[in-house]
Structure 1
Amino acid sequence: MADDPVSLVAAWPHDVHRLGDAAYGAYRERFPAIADKPRIAGSADSLSVEQVIDVAPDVAIFRDGLGPNPEQIRQIEAAGIPVVFIDFFSQPLENLEKSLLILGRLIGAEERAQAFIDFRDAHLKRITGRIAQTPALRRPRVFLEVHAGLTECCNSPGRGNVGNYVELAGGHNIGADVLPGASGKLGIEYIISAEPEIYIATGGPHTAKAGGFVIGPEFSPAEARASLARMAARPGIASLAPVERGEVHGLAHQLLNSPLDILVAERLANWIHPELFADVDPDKTIEELNTRFLAVPLAGPNWIDLRQQAGGASSE
């Protein structure tokens, strides 16, 4: 929404391990000032009110559900700093558009924010409209493991987060049957009993230290596919029917919890209903995003298939 987004930042949590060295390097090359931005803690457990007040922002923006507690809000606002909450995480299909409009108003870029919202809405409606018009649609059971390999098996979306995109794309998220919140953990016994038909892992540079699934611009498609194969070979996971069939896919976690969610929706649609969405091309969507909206182009690979497709891995 801004030609120089870094110039608008007073301070940030600087989660470069999640962003990835390659992505951070691309931003630093384009906007060298990013390296000099103050770094502060971003969650309620470790947030320093003094740090926030010290950098004197015009407004303090936090993620809903992972921000300051009521007393910290009172202290920040008492210093003359308005506190704003946005949500790209818990219920993004409900709140991401509202959050973008808030951000657009804050930086005086309402028109640009609305242009992106219209672009995103058109891409999402292409999927939801086709799902709605498909009578007796069968929803395959999907096991989506987030941060695959970062901790013991298995992190999963529940009723919210990326699980909502599984449902939007015509699948059934097995995590939603037992996890009441936006995310949680599933036991391998439950996963096996749920008989998923499709297995999707998310990961990125932040999982490398644990030997988990890695993907993103600092990894080659071959490296991403090899790490996905390791995830599929773990005890319990290897016995799942989709793994035995090679119906295993990997997605960059960096695409989640952001306005890039349209890429998640399109790629999930390809994997869950390949015939219904054969004409949906998230690679083309990336080209449009890079040309029209992104200050720093999105590089890949952003997704991978365990069984190499005729055209290779997408977004390589």
Structure 2
Amino acid sequence: MQGKSIARLVLSVVLSAPLLAHASQYPLTVTDFDGRSVTVEHEPQRIILQDGRDIMAMALLDRDDPFKRLVAWNNLAKKQDVATWEMLKTQWPEATHIMDMGFSDKGNVDLESVLSKQPDLMIAQLRARPALEESGVLQKLTALKIPVVFIDYEVNPAKDTAPSIDLLGKVLNRESNAAAYTAYYRQQLHAIEQKTATINPKPSVFVEALAGNTDSCCFTHGHSGWGGLVEAVGAKNIGSDLLPGASGFVALEKLISVNPDVYIMTGSKRGNSQVLPLGLNVSPDEVNTQAQVLLQRTGVSQIPAIAAKRVYGVYHHFYNHPYNIVGMEYLAKDIYPQAFADLDPDATYHHIIKNFTKLPDTSFVYSWQQGK
């Protein structure tokens, strides 16, 4: 026992020790998560974000002002997570003046308007690569010698998230900031993996992504996204077995017959008031009221996990987010309530915000539990 205590102490000291600054040397050639060799001629100062949620990665790296290098982005928060957008524009008012150019996963964008901003780097999510290629956006940027770096938090979230932040740290000359966060991320992930590896049999889990966003139940993810996060915590994701692709619908009758051990609904506060309104600056009562409405949908109440009171809610955007370790901790606590009784995902989120960003540490409700 004494040896283990010493080992934990040493690990704690290593992870909390200040990291030596290391300046990136340009021109810099890196390999991105599409396996492409990308050369960045100078430290980027005019950045495009294909996926606006990557502003949370910029908050880890350009901590004083994550918007200071942005010239264009896809402002997904404004469309899908209104409380987060309110927080961001209150903290950094200049965010409202940055071009919101779309850049959807289908590659739709007014490229000429974006190019008029003279970007010197685009950061893009790996899942969007096919669309950006088919639309000709990738070829156009390559021809203009504007580097495109693909990162990933969704296709293989547990494996790729920390290395993606490390890659961005190198590209943006913020290696020390990146390394501080990813050391903590890897520590938290290792603790989950170590404990779940010994748990058998593996519980089966169904995630209804954006519960209530459509009239029909039940939309879910396969091996990527929420499915990848479920698998990362050692559980069996039902969507991985039933879907041919990354996401899709599972018939309610089929879902009832496969009888998941745990049922999880994700949500965020957006224009559609039917969705579970999890996120910043919401009240537990507001979330609980809508959760009860969702549980009473026609047929949904027949899912055995509901009768067993094994239904939970989790903030939707953790499925494609640099802080997805918090989402994995919520999953671990929901799926294995006894094994992870002492785990506190709320505290993990607060720790990330306070220690690795200058985002305001505002109130939030990122989870919900049936019967509470």
- Alignment TM-score, normalising by the size of structure 1: 0.91
Q: After TM superposition, what 4+ stretches of structure 1 lie above 4 angstroms from structure 2? A: none
User: Does the C-alpha gap of structure 1 residues 298 and 175 become closer, same or farther in structure 2, counting only changes over 3 Å?
Assistant: farther
Matching of residues 140-155 of structure 1 within 5 Å: 140-151=203-214, 152-155=216-219
Instruction: Answer yes or no: is 1:75 the counterpart of 2:140.
Output: yes
Match of 1:303 in 2: 367
1:104 to 154, 161, 169: 169
Match of 1:2 in 2: 62
Identity of aligned residues (%): 29
Tell me the matched-pair count: 305
User: Does the C-alpha gap of structure 1 residues 81 and 256 become closer, same or farther in structure 2, counting only changes over 3 Å?
Assistant: same
Q: Distance in 2 between matches of 1:242 and 1:298?
A: 33
Q: Distance in 1 between matches of 2:82 and 2:178?
A: 28
Matching of residues 165-314 of structure 1 within 5 Å: 165-206=229-270, 208-209=271-272, 211-296=274-359, 297=361, 299-308=363-372
Any conservation in 2 of the 1:49–1:76 contact (CA below 8 Å)?
Answer: no
Any conservation in 2 of the 1:53–1:79 contact (CA below 8 Å)?
Answer: no
Partner-residue secondary structure (3-state), 2:317? helix
Q: Distance in 1 between matches of 2:172 and 2:107?
A: 28
Partner-residue secondary structure (3-state), 2:240? helix
Gaps of 5+ in 1: 309-316
Q: Name the one with the larger strand percent.
A: 2
Q: Distance in 1 between matches of 2:133 and 2:213?
A: 28
Letter in 2 for 1:202: T
Q: Distance in 2 between matches of 1:177 and 1:221?
A: 33
Q: Distance in 2 between matches of 1:40 and 1:130?
A: 43
Gaps of 5+ in 2: 1-60
Q: Distance in 2 between matches of 1:24 and 1:156?
A: 25
User: Does the C-alpha gap of structure 1 residues 141 and 18 become closer, same or farther in structure 2, counting only changes over 3 Å?
Assistant: farther
Instruction: Answer yes or no: is 1:27 the counterpart of 2:88.
Output: yes
Q: Report Cα offsets for 1:83-138 as digits up to 9, x if no partner.
A: 2212222221222223212211222111111111110010011010112234xx12
Any conservation in 2 of the 1:13–1:41 contact (CA below 8 Å)?
Answer: yes
Letter in 1 for 2:220: S
Structure 1 stretch displaced more, 3-12 or 48-57: 48-57
Letter in 1 for 2:190: K
Match of 1:40 in 2: 101
Any conservation in 2 of the 1:202–1:252 contact (CA below 8 Å)?
Answer: yes
Larger radius of gyration: 2
Matching of residues 110-125 of structure 1 within 5 Å: 110-125=175-190
Partner-residue secondary structure (3-state), 1:148? coil
| Per-residue deviation, 1:174 | 1.0
Match of 2:24 in 1: none
User: Does the C-alpha gap of structure 1 residues 177 and 239 become closer, same or farther in structure 2, counting only changes over 3 Å?
Assistant: same
Q: Distance in 2 between matches of 1:39 and 1:183?
A: 26
Q: Distance in 2 between matches of 1:288 and 1:188?
A: 39
